[in-house]
Amino acid sequence: MISVIVPVHNTAAYLQECIDSILAQAGVALELILIDDGSTDGSTGICRRAAEGSPATVRYIREGGAGVSHARNRGIAEARGEYIAFVDSDDMLLPGALESLQRILLTNDNCDIAVGQFTQDMRGASHRGPTAIYDAEEAVIRTLYRNRAFHESAWAKLYRRDIFAHENLFAEGRRYEDLEACPRFYSRSRKIAVTDSTVYFYRPNPSSFINNWSEDRLDALWATGQIQSFVERRFPKAEAAARSRRFSSLFNIFNLCVGTMKKRPGCDRAFMNETADRCWQEIVTLRAAVIRDGNVMLKNRLAALASYAGQGFMRRLSSAVMR
């Protein structure tokens, strides 16, 4: 059986579609665990009706707003299945998603995680594609370099339950929890299967966390710092990839700070400037290695090269781009 864990928080506009896409999965036995994390917008009623309508399949658990990591961890603790999948409550599974991922794990005895692809456009998505098998270190390296077909998200994947037979699960009270956890979860897997099959619809949502500034965005720096420490201990060959991912986060936060000061004149400019300066200092220490690393994405290598024009130039460039 597959346990599908859905953290829910104020996504009433999309939640029913999400639930329906999971319950419509054919060819697998599943349970749906809805963790309602303090919703106030009608999501609670949708969850309760789903549980009442399919009591043998759907379980509803109310939490008090402790965040997505806590909700996922609670779902893991409640799960009864041999396999675990995560779905965000404003997204959807594509038809046949769970069956195709489970088939990969059932036909590859040494694989503990199956990674599928996601789309933001339901039209023309390729639902079938080849599968390749990687050891944990290679999967971590390719994920941190953000190679095609590799992604850091918890969703669009199927895990054997044993991956979560540890106390160290999703870090609570943090954002970018998927990014930070991905190398740790891969390290517990004998092999990782990556398929080109599209299994997941990631809904473009302009009001989502990732599309708006908040201080929680700085958790990207926490996550990439944790990853650097982890791969140094566990996957030394992945250190360059971890450095590349760190550089990407530093530049992203630098640009966000500069752009936010331009778009929101009333923001805490002192804090934004201080954060941008701290990012810049580390960018300077990493840029030469990033330029030399042929595995780094071209846009990051170009950004590293442009940084030699100085912080003032990069601030002006960021402001122009963020207009």
Same domain for 79 and 221? no
Counted domains in the chain: 2
The tens digit of pLDDT for each residue in 89-98 reads 999 999 999 9
Q: Show which of 201, 233, 251 is a domain's final residue.
A: 201
Residue 261: pLDDT band (50, 70, 90) is confident
The tens digit of pLDDT for each residue in 40-94 reads 999 999 999 999 999 999 999 999 888 999 999 999 999 999 999 999 999 999 9
CA neighbor of 90 nearest in space, from 175, 201, 212: 201
Of 91-95, 140-144, 261-265, 270-274, least confident by mean pLDDT is: 261-265
DSSP 40-66: -SSHHHHHHHHHHH-TTTEEEEEE-S-
Q: Show which of 141, 173, 201 is a domain's final residue.
A: 201
3-state SS track over 97-126: HHHHHHHHHHCCCCEEEEEEEEECCCCCCC
Residue 44 has phi, psi (to 5 degrees) of: -60, -45
The tens digit of pLDDT for each residue in 267-299 reads 888 998 999 999 999 999 999 999 999 999 999
Q: What share of the chain is helix, strand, coil (3-state, %, to 5)?
A: 50, 15, 30
Residue 169 · residue 78 · CB < 8 Å: no
- pLDDT: which is higher, 322 or 109: 109
Same domain for 182 and 289? no
Asked if the structure places residue 208 within a domain, the reply is no
Range of the domain at 233: 213-321
What's the predicted TM-score (pTM) here? 0.92
Q: Show which of 167, 201, 235 is a domain's final residue.
A: 201
Same domain for 63 and 196? yes
Same domain for 87 and 110? yes
Same domain for 37 and 116? yes
